[in-house]
A and B are shown apart, each in its own frame.
Chain A
Amino acid sequence: MRNKYSVFSLIKNALSYHENWQRAWKDPTPKKEYDAVIVGGGGHGLATAYYLAKKHNMKNIAVVEKGWIGGGNTGRNTTIIRSNYLWDASAGLYDHALKIWEGLSQELNYNVMFSQRGVMNLAHNLQDVRDLKRRTHANRLNGIDAVYLSTEEVKKFCPIINTSQDIRYPVLGGTLQRRAGTARHDAVAWGYARGADEMGVDIIQNCEVKGIKRNGDSVEGIETTKGFIKTKKIGVVAAGHSSVIANMAGIRLPLESKPLQALVSEPVKPIIDTVVMSNAVHAYVSQSDKGELVIGAGTDDYVSYTQKGSHQIVEGTLNAILELYPIFSRMRMLRQWGGIVDICPDASPILSKTSIKGLYFNCGWGTGGFKATPGSGDLFAHTIANDEPHKLNAAFNLNRFVSGDLVDEHGAAAVAH
């Protein structure tokens, strides 16, 4: 039985100089066979394993991860959580996740530092104003909190924004989702790993998948750098590398993998207590609990797996940031990095069965997957356990690219993909 984290355990361990904390998860060698194997130990993969064990009573399962858990996009994103998407299907999906976020720290007994500091989306031209008003109305019809703000209200909510009408892209208004916010990304992976491990899930790190063994139209197991693992169900949650795994299984996905960059500044005192996103000029910024400004840049337009993007992408974002927040003009940037995001043609994810029995894909989250982590894991676990999608992810099937029933969240998703 795992020790519960509490203020008392903190005091107790402080007395022994924090040298006796229990391991949060084991380091098992893979068994010969599992009931299900999750490929990819990021937040989504670990959450999938957690809910498979918790809600579907599948305990003989493993998560295989080629590096260390949470080392991919889970550890590289800008941690923004919101659910103010335009279309009904997306609203259902992302708000399902947001509702789980609200109780996640308690459920996992792990502080994921979920902070509902609000997310504000700015409008810079008349079309933005119309789009954001439309999205606000759509959100409210779906029971998602959303308000439209005037320029003055934007300034009141976040005083450091330059709302002068003389700048190149003046702020004409904005939307606000107060339930939205941020969370500590690493803690999400670690919390789910600890929870899954406690229920008997094997988390196998440094174990890269090298092949998928098929017997006709069903899966038999995976070849890994730690040997062959037999299984009848494989859930692939490999983000930017989804197509690589799909190619091993002999299927194609409608994805392109592109570098997405982010950067953080030196830490400063609290200056921005919310998240501000701006689609038209592609700038979004928040402040971490350490005091760093967390800035998200855009994607490059070419396929690349290099985890580094182009300089001009960062430069463009910083130009926009400086015009909107002149107060940041003398800040120094500390770190910049890239992650590989798998982008769908309709900028919506895929949580789906495939033409191969026992092979499931959870991918295509593109530039905005972190916010959906708990909901994604929950719904994907349902899909794997029942071999049928939950009603909330039914629209996000692979067949939508055949039927044409796309969930087009390009632009409508409040930030360019």
Chain B
Amino acid sequence: MFVINCPYCGERDQQEFKAGGEAHIERPKQPTELSDDEWAEYLFMRKNIKGVQYERWNHAHGCRKWFNMIRDTSNDEIKAIYKMGEKPPSI
């Protein structure tokens, strides 16, 4: 349980948010060209990092906007928050 600084609303309790999993997984540009292995990679395989991870969050009980977060999953410390479409800041 922690506090998240929503880029649109400011600091709110984590329970207002919904975690959206790993960030920057790009949808295949040519889905019809993909092999089954590549589909499996895209759909299911995750880094699931113990340490600094890039992830998506949604302010579900607030502005309902999506944004990105860099968070250390070994201690839940939030390193950076940035909007969708923005380049991740260096940390």
Contacts and interface: CB of A to CB of B under 8 A. Distances in A.
A255 B50 contact: no
Contacts of B47: 243, 247, 252
Contacts of A244: 50
Q: Determine the main DSSP class of B at the interface with A.
A: mixed
A403 B45 contact: no
A404 B21 CA distance: 21
Contact of A252 (B43, B45, B75): B45
Centre residue among A256, A303, A345 by max chain B CB count within 10 A: A303
Contacts of B75: 306
B14 A310 contact: yes
Contact of B15 (A252, A253, A310): A310
Interface residues of A, number: 27
Nearest to A240: B50
A345 B39 CA distance: 14
A304 B51 CA distance: 9
A302 B19 contact: yes
Contact of B1 (A254, A311, A345): A311
A255 B48 contact: yes
A253 B21 contact: no
Given A306-B76, A402-B36, A254 B15 contact: no
Contact of A303 (B44, B45, B48): B48
B90 interface: no
A209 to B, nearest CB: 13
A102 interface: no
Interface string A267-286: 00000000000000000000
A305 interface: yes
A254 B44 contact: yes
Interface string A245-264: 00100001111110000000
Contacts, number: 69
B19 A257 contact: no
A402 B43 CA distance: 10
B20 to A, nearest CB: 9
Nearest to B48: A243
Nearest to A257: B48
A301 interface: yes
Given A306-B75, A310-B1, A301 B18 contact: yes
B29 interface: no
Contacts of A404: 36
Contacts of B50: 241, 243-244, 257, 305
Interface string B15-27: 1001101000000
B5 interface: no
Contacts of B87: none
A304 B73 contact: yes
B44 A401 contact: yes
A276 B67 CA distance: 39
10 nearest interchain CB pairs?
A302-B19, A243-B48, A254-B44, A310-B1, A252-B45, A402-B40, A401-B44, A301-B19, A312-B15, A305-B50
9 contacts: A254-B44, A256-B46, A257-B50, A303-B49, A304-B73, A342-B48, A402-B36, A402-B37, A404-B36
Given A253-B45, A302-B55, A303-B19, 19 more contacts: A243-B47, A243-B48, A252-B46, A253-B46, A256-B48, A300-B19, A301-B18, A303-B48, A303-B49, A303-B53, A303-B73, A304-B73, A305-B50, A306-B76, A310-B1, A401-B43, A401-B44, A401-B45, A404-B36
